[in-house]
Chain A
């Protein structure tokens, strides 16, 4: 009698444990890597925020953030299986897919592309067209898709194009020098060094790919949809937290990137806010993407001759775009 009672207690207890296990989701956290495409800067603030707040962990993700640097090949690393997630830009996603790499975008940091042309205020330009017609030198990274876009739109006959290799040394030294920039990065540095930067967003000229796009392999998206949604949710939460208070994440990134001081971190984090916020009502979801914009982008890249029409990917295959609610 006593023996049977004990047995029943044991059975009940084990059923309870199993139920707890099923309900509590007590499986081990997914171990994944996110590869950044630059050194830690406010551009990645939301990602570091999600890690610091434990948001990733709460959603069942054990995330390692790997900073990158100049020329870091992020989509290739994702496509070859080296890392699970990475930061890239939308035009890189289209180019990757056109060349047979099966990557897909799941979240976008910037709604408006922060790429811009920085020129000297002393020249009195009113628009990008003026920059291209005004003579002098223009530094653009070799092979940059929007470089080709701007060339096609405005022509190169009146300005000398040279490679952009980083920094603002030439800009400060030459009043006739214009260069590419991230709108809240180089101009802030130039102003700090006593220069007179004036910026024109490339997006305003009609080329506006999603930038700071988190990508993964479509096989991961198919096999582990829960993991992908967990990632998207964490990113959304992380960015919301970073937008309201950037200090903690900035300090953490500042330790990893000694060449940017705390003041610049704060200024850049503030300046980038309008580019991150989606258009429309205040509480629209961070990270959303629309197929119209992807469609436009594919068309533009074919038009520029950067990808072959026959290899152009279908816009809807490029992204999973519900955003981080």
Chain B
């Protein structure tokens, strides 16, 4: 279970035990009882059929939703600060200010009345950072996603792909230890999608945070991740937990490689077993 990030101590590790989530209003059981370990700095992809509970799991990890039962432990990587996030017990979640978490949604969800720069600096603004500092960090983040010349534009003036890159920059501006993405590129065209996949993987290799990436696309999961987990139909059970047997350096050309097809084939079979088709 080696991680391939260059700075393994930059991410958090997660431990999930017996996580369950049932929606009282509809009686739907999204997650029955889930155990999962994610080591620090790993790029984990979660694949599964629609409505199987993968988004719910991501929201529970982020603290946007409460589990009904189970434990979630998030451990800081640096030795001097092995603070565990809270006592165990049913339905608690890691308080986010103590673990820098970022979340990227399927739609960019930018504030339409703010410029790109102000959108990206929002997380730091909410944390109370000084204006000069947060603008500098925002410019850096935008640089990293290649949008330096769009700083003063408004979201309404951007294309879908550009908006998603702004969203990504916003997620990175706090230098998060845990990056959660919920089908972020699903609404984009194939070429933009592959470009962003590429950019994301590069950023992960530079910074080394733990990434959990939920997707429908087997190809995307295979390209991006160290490890892929396949969920069954609802309620979510792990059908397959697989370390991808691919080189650390993932180029565009890799997609044409037969090794790539072998990996995607494995994942596809797992999906079928889980009742996706």
- The answer on direct contact between A and B (beta carbons under 8 Å) is no
Please list the residues of chain B having a beta carbon within 8 angstroms of any beta carbon in chain A. none
Q: Chain A residues in contact with chain B, CB under 8 A? A: none
